[in-house]
Amino acid sequence: MAYLESRKNLTGCACGLVGLVTVFTGLAGAYWPIVVAGLYGAGALIAPPERTAPPPFAGPAGPGAELDAIRGDFAALRGYLAALDVPDEAVAPAAELDGLLAALLEPGWVADEIAADPEAVHILGRAVRTDVPEAFDAYQRTRWWARLQPGADPPERHLGRQLELLNGELAMVAAAVRESQERRQRTHTTYLESRTGEPEPPEPLAGGPAPG
């Protein structure tokens, strides 16, 4: 049933109807079954292939539940990507992107830190719901045309580049979380120094003995 409704079957049937017209006009002659079958097969071959559509995402939620919603959409995105044929040029950046998103969305103190930053939440939601599915969907659409026009700009290169750019953007979110924790640590050190009256010992000079 799925094939009957597919683009390949519909295009093949349309070309087959053209073959029937040649039968009625007498152009096909005694070989009309071969003509009709050949036109159907040609139509099925030139028809654009079926593509896997991106999953429907839940969309934005309330401030407290937004990361949970993004986490659910990320699970749907992973299922969508698992069903695709990822080109070799995109395998490594896709794996890196998956690891970054998984780490940033992992429930715990990292997610709590990100939840307090609306811009970071926006970047994660945009990556999961828009940027990544659009990159792969555009690749699926474009690679068919690239096959018909040899020598065109390869869609694999664009997909790989898009994933690299997304990795860079998410790496900045991860760096912001790390810097926030480092500031928190330095602040606590300063607080303890002020409370005890004992300053932090100076760092040893390069090549010299450690103080004390």
Long-range Cβ contact pairs of 96-104 (< 8 A, separation 24 or more): 96/163, 96/167, 97/132, 97/163, 97/166, 97/167, 97/170, 100/167, 100/170, 100/171, 100/174, 101/74, 101/127, 101/128, 101/170, 102/74, 103/174, 104/170, 104/173, 104/174, 104/177
| Cα 77 from Cα 70, distance rounded (Å) | 10
The string of pLDDT tens digits covering residues 42-76 is: 655 655 566 677 777 666 555 457 888 999 999 99
Buried b (16+ CB within 10 A) or exposed e, 116-150: eeeebbebbbebbbebbbebbbebbebbeeeeeee
Share of the chain above pLDDT 90, in %: 33
Name the residue with tokens 């044929």: 85
User: How many residues are given for the chain?
Assistant: 212
Q: Check residue 20 and give its pLDDT.
A: 59
The string of pLDDT tens digits covering residues 129-187 is: 999 999 999 998 888 776 666 667 788 999 999 999 999 999 999 998 888 778 878 88
User: Is the per-residue pLDDT at 19 higher than 80?
Assistant: no
Quote the tokens at residue 53.
């559509």
CB 43 within 8 A of CB 11: yes
| Cα 205 from Cα 139, distance rounded (Å) | 54
At 160, which helix (H) or strand (E)? helix 155-196
Q: Measured on CA atoms in the order 26, 29, 32, 34, is the torsion positive or negative?
A: negative
pTM of the model: 0.63
Tell me, what amino acid is at 86?
V
Tell me, what amino acid is at 43?
G
